[in-house]
Amino acid sequence: MTLQPFPREIRIVDLAAQYRRYQLEIDAAIRDVLATAAFIQGPQVASFEQALRNHTGAAAVVSCGNGTDALQIAMMALGLKPGDEVIVPVNTYVATAEVLALLRITPVFADVDPARFLLDERRLHSYITPKTRAIVPVHLYGQCADMESILDIAARHNLFVIEDTAQALGAVYTFSDGRQQMAGTMGTLGTTSFFPTKSLGCYGDGGAIFTNNALYAEKMRMIANHGQRIKYHHELVGINSRLDTLQAAILQVKLQYLPEEIQKRNAVAAFYDSQLCTTSEIQLPARSDRSTHVFHQYTIQTKHRDALKAHLVARGIPAALYYPLLLHQQKAYRAYSSDTFPVAGHIQAHMLSLPIHPEMQEDELMFICSEIKTFLAGLRQAGSV
Ligand SMILES: *Cc1c(COP(=O)(O)O)cnc(C)c1O
């Protein structure tokens, strides 16, 4: 029997289709920037920051060149020094640890919780030493870590909290008193990325930092722009990390559609749930009862991961690992830890992210789910389940 391929390419994200949807507005926004030629710090940068303040409820938004710089600017603004320790989850994108290493701050890798793959607040105490200065919860895959407990532990130990919100912009966290806050606005500082594949993506690189502290906002604005408040007067050692006017104009158009896109991602996740919940070999992504989910990734767990991934990829379905190595396994970061991370290690061997984006069609989703079921039926027949 020859298997029929799916008639279209199945993509991890479909940025071209997304552009077509907003094309008129985005083209107009780009033409405005081109006509005025204010490519650096044009008026669209400030108006996008204002729109993002309104959207998130953060008192201040400082835009910058990308999500990695956002983390670096945050660490610099907090005055962290070489030898200080900062706790980061062991399963995150490298940027979270990279900026620490660059600044000669010591990243301390922490294990995560087995259901949601997020910093495990019950284990945090064991990583705190007299040198610890900050905790970086990463809202991985699109939902918030347990911020109430993390903020509480941080307050007791006098630590900064920097939320890495690159994957969860738009997620809402509910505190036990019913208060709701958006991802990135709960910690001392929050950072995000507008990399094209993120929930709010531009057409190049971009990033931002959120804070409710006016002094940090001022300092971060200076750091992102060569440490100057007045042109050519450099009060601080800074970097060159500004959000392009063109990207700001594009982002301002796309920000209006963020809630709708998050809804569409949730609809895709609900579809996967409904199709895969009957299969005992598949563990569905766990939802936090405190946080909404923006589904940057839809990540299942299965003990047949490698074989399932190979089957899906062979059928043209881009199933992927985020990330194939934990930080302490990365060559550049091995020296930072000799710990073992049993929970993250287990997840690492079982996780698999399925395609999820707002443009996904029901026939694509049906095809992916039926391929997963075909694969599992094959295993059952072979007696390996
Ligand atoms: C994407 C990402 C970053 C870095 O953002 P860039 O804009 O690519 O520099 C940082 N942390 C996490 C968790 C990310 O997913």
* Whether residue 264 is found in the same domain as residue 199: no
Task: Name the residue with the closest Cα to ligand 1, atom 2.
Answer: 166
Distance from residue 374's CA to the centre of ligand 1 (Å) = 35
* Whether residue 282 is found in the same domain as residue 228: no
3-state helix vs strand vs coil in the chain, percent to 5:
40, 15, 40
Whole-number pLDDT of residue 92: 96
Ligand 1 nearest atom to the CA of residue 195, by list position? 7
Residue 369 lies inside a defined structural domain of this protein = yes
- Verify whether ligand 1 is closer than 6 Å to residue 92 (CB atom): yes
Whole-number pLDDT of residue 278: 87
Distance from residue 327's CA to the centre of ligand 1 (Å) = 14
Q: Single out the residue in 214, 234, 255 at which a domain terminates.
A: 255
- Verify whether ligand 1 is closer than 6 Å to residue 199 (CB atom): no
Please give the tally of structural domains in the chain. 2
Task: Name the residue with the closest Cα to ligand 1, atom 7.
Answer: 67
Cβ-proximal residues to 202 (8 Å cutoff; 6+ apart), any chain: 194, 195, 196, 247, 250, 251, 254
- Verify whether ligand 1 is closer than 6 Å to residue 68 (CB atom): yes
Whole-number pLDDT of residue 1: 53
Residue 325 lies inside a defined structural domain of this protein = yes
- Verify whether ligand 1 is closer than 6 Å to residue 164 (CB atom): yes
CATH of residue 338's domain is 3.90.1150.10
Q: Single out the residue in 255, 275, 293 at which a domain terminates.
A: 255
* Whether residue 114 is found in the same domain as residue 207: yes
Residue 213 lies inside a defined structural domain of this protein = yes
Q: Single out the residue in 196, 228, 255 at which a domain terminates.
A: 255
Residue 9 lies inside a defined structural domain of this protein = no
Exposure string for 154-184, b = 16+ CB within 10 A, e = fewer: beeeebbbbbbbbbbbbbbbbeeeeeebbbb
| Residue 357 three-state SS | coil
- Verify whether ligand 1 is closer than 6 Å to residue 138 (CB atom): yes
Cβ-proximal residues to 121 (8 Å cutoff; 6+ apart), any chain: 145, 146, 149, 150, 153
* Whether residue 267 is found in the same domain as residue 128: no
Distance CA 89, CA 328 (A): 10
Instruction: Name the residue of 64, 68, 99, 242 whose CB sits within 8 Å of the most ligand 1 atoms, as the mutation to test its pocket.
Output: 68
Cis status, amide bond into 272, omega within 30 of 0:
no
CATH of residue 185's domain is 3.40.640.10
Enclosing domain of residue 207: 17-255
Instruction: Name the residue of 73, 86, 93 whose CB sits within 8 Å of the most ligand 1 atoms, as the mutation to test its pocket.
Output: 93
- Verify whether ligand 1 is closer than 6 Å to residue 91 (CB atom): no
Residue 198 lies inside a defined structural domain of this protein = yes
Ligand 1 nearest atom to the CA of residue 206, by list position? 7
Distance from residue 223's CA to the centre of ligand 1 (Å) = 19
Tokens 């569409």 sit on residue: 264
- Verify whether ligand 1 is closer than 6 Å to residue 245 (CB atom): no
| 198 catalytically annotated | yes
- Which of 293, 294, 273 shows the shortest CA–CA distance to 197? 294
* Whether residue 180 is found in the same domain as residue 235: yes
Whole-number pLDDT of residue 41: 95
Are 51 and 44 in contact by the 8 Å Cβ rule? The answer is: no
Distance from residue 75's CA to the centre of ligand 1 (Å) = 15
- What tens-digit pLDDT sequence spans the chain (385 residues)? 567 889 899 999 999 999 999 999 999 999 999 999 999 999 999 999 999 999 999 999 999 999 999 999 999 999 999 999 999 999 999 999 999 999 999 999 999 999 999 999 999 999 999 999 999 999 999 999 999 999 999 999 999 999 999 999 999 999 999 999 999 999 999 999 999 999 999 999 999 999 999 999 999 999 999 999 999 999 999 999 999 999 999 999 999 999 999 999 999 999 999 999 988 899 999 999 999 999 999 999 999 999 999 999 999 999 999 999 999 999 999 999 989 999 999 999 999 999 999 999 999 999 999 999 999 999 988 886 6
Beta bridge partners of 173: 181, 291
Catalytic residue of the set 81, 131, 198, 231: 198
Are 281 and 303 in contact by the 8 Å Cβ rule? The answer is: yes
Whole-number pLDDT of residue 2: 62
* Whether residue 265 is found in the same domain as residue 230: no
* Whether residue 251 is found in the same domain as residue 262: no
Distance from residue 166's CA to the centre of ligand 1 (Å) = 5
Residue 247 lies inside a defined structural domain of this protein = yes
Distance from residue 176's CA to the centre of ligand 1 (Å) = 29
Which pTM does this prediction carry? 0.97
